[in-house]
A and B are shown apart, each in its own frame.
Chain A
Amino acid sequence: MKKLRMNLRANGIWYLFLLPALLTYLIFMAAPLIDSMRLSFFTGRGYTPTEFVGFKNYIDLFTVPLWRDRFLGALKNTIIFFSIHMFIQNSMGLFFATLLSSDFRGRNFYRTVIFAPATLSVLVTGFLWTLILHPYWGAINHTLKAVGLNSWAKPWLGDKHLALPVIALTSVWQWVGMPTVLFLAGLLGIPDELIEAARVDGASSWNVFWRIKFPLLKPVIGVVAILTFVDNFNAFDVIFAMEGAKGEPGYATDLLATFFYRTGIAGEQPAGIPNMGMGAVIATLIFLILMAGVLIWLYAARSDEEGI
């Protein structure tokens, strides 16, 4: 009895330590995320669920042409947006990190510069780039016309095919510092002896990179990939700043997050009445996509560890 009471007392204090964090996290993060799934089975005006409709919202999203086209369009655009970051941003990051990992004067300066845009608000850089990319007065077209390349001066953000890749590239401009710094830390963590030994054996720089450094970077590559995935499947600010909540021109830059915002939170203009149930469906689907990605990553990371 005495032992039990002591045990309770000893553990009770830990619950007190945990309480503030646990309550905030439960009420303002975990519960809303889980309850969103419940709301996806309801319809209602504004934000109040009134009628249980089962899977009707889900069925509508996939069968009613208006919903289906928007959803599939946003999904496709999000995949493109993510892929540009995954392949272009992360390859550039790896390349910069490789350059920065050798010893020369000024490398701290370059590292600081490459990372700098990541500290700015996405909204601010998005607005700044809309001005720079402005078809008539923007600095880019101004320069192109000044050097006689008039036909290269395009309406960057107004063209259906150009807008999404161009916006993704401005986002790469902002975020490339992240993979750079992470890969750099990974490269600097590789013991020098390993590389020296390979060189003594006559391996070229190219071989040293692909045969030794690259395989050892695998865990970092995994982390960078999953961060890129989660961040870009949620991207909203940059599209909102550069193309508005509707993903202009003609939904060509509409992402899952802007679709979610329009449907579930702001409401389609001009009426502006949010469709809570459908919004919750979109949130739930984004959630499931993210979970699937994270699980694949965890599984891959684990089987990799076992492989070694």
Chain B
Amino acid sequence: MKMNRTQKLLTHFILATWTLIVLFPVWTLIVDSFKPQKEIFSSPFGLPQHFTLAGYKSVWVNGNFGIYFLNTFYVTIISLALIVFFGSLASYALAKWNSKASTAFYIFFIAGLMIPVRLGTIDLIRIMQFLSLQDTIWSLIPVYVAMGMPISIFILTAFIDTLPKEMFDAAKVDGASEWRIYFQIVMPLLRPAIATVAIFNMMKIWNDFWFPLVFIRAEKSRTISLGVSLLFGQYRTDWTRALSTLSLAAVPILILYILLSREFIKGLTAGAVKG
């Protein structure tokens, strides 16, 4: 739609104002993490006058941030691999198998889209105790994989439905088994949909705080969000360290987002797309 000059100016004014409101906390977070406490209080917005890395150093050394980072990384990668593998297998079956049973399974999976698994936490704690997984990162992975099934099956089944039927029929006539069709034909074609599924779940898992809070106490098993919450509690009055902790958690994600913003937006809003 075409706009006249005044409209254009007004649009820019409104959006630029919101841009400032969005960027202001992020800006203060980053610049203030390099300032000594006194300077944070006296001039919170300017570039650091007395540049210091003390916050980062002590957070990294005292906080075992390296461990938190690796734990979060392993949990996210392993969960995502399993979500994509289990989800695409199931979606292929649900898309290709026409029967009452497959419709019922599909509805059963999709019902989970609107229901947060959190509400089953008391039982999940009992299950993890029974499996002796509490306090390890392995308690998180099965829950995340289960949590990822509805959205993944929703997206992937819809995607497989759009693939031309003749392709599967031709492969069948040539004598290919369902397994071969899945691995050699479907999997490679699914790539764009898998990227969407992966980003959606990646952000949910990477940022999750509830399950680490409930399942994990041991230092060696903490994830970034649990580590940040404990460190922040400890440094509440030491702002340089508190802000360093927060920016160590926030900046890597922001950089990734700036590099892949289109994919991120598509991935994170995927749950709302009507299939």
Contacts and interface: CB of A to CB of B under 8 A. Distances in A.
Nearest to A176: B18
A240 B153 CA distance: 32
Contacts, number: 249
B119 A121 contact: no
Contacts of B129: 47
B114 A28 contact: no
Contacts of B15: 96, 99-100, 106, 110, 114
A257 B228 contact: no
B50 interface: no
Interface in A5-29: 11, 13-14, 17-18, 20-22, 24-25, 27-29
Given A132-B25, A137-B239, A219-B274, A36 B207 contact: no
Interface of B: 1-3, 7-8, 11-12, 14-15, 18-19, 21-26, 28-29, 40-41, 44-45, 82, 85-87, 89-90, 92-94, 96-97, 99, 101-102, 105, 108-109, 112, 114-127, 129, 142-143, 145-147, 149-150, 153, 178, 182, 203, 206-207, 209-210, 213-214, 224-225, 228-229, 232, 239, 242-243, 246, 249-250, 253-254, 257-258, 261, 264-265, 268-269, 271-272, 274
A17 B253 contact: no
A7 B267 CA distance: 38
B269 A35 contact: no
Given A123-B228, A283-B120, A290 B115 contact: yes
B149 A131 contact: no
Interface of A: 11, 13-14, 17-18, 20-22, 24-25, 27-33, 35-36, 39, 47-48, 96, 99-104, 106, 110-125, 127-129, 131-132, 137, 139, 142, 173, 177-178, 181-182, 185, 195, 219, 223-224, 226-227, 230, 234, 236-237, 240-241, 257, 260, 264-265, 274, 276, 279-280, 283-284, 286-287, 290-291, 294
Contacts of A286: 119
A230 B261 CA distance: 25
Given A18-B105, A113-B22, A224 B272 contact: yes
Contact of A112 (B97, B117, B261): B261
A120 B254 contact: yes
Contacts of B115: 33, 287, 290-291
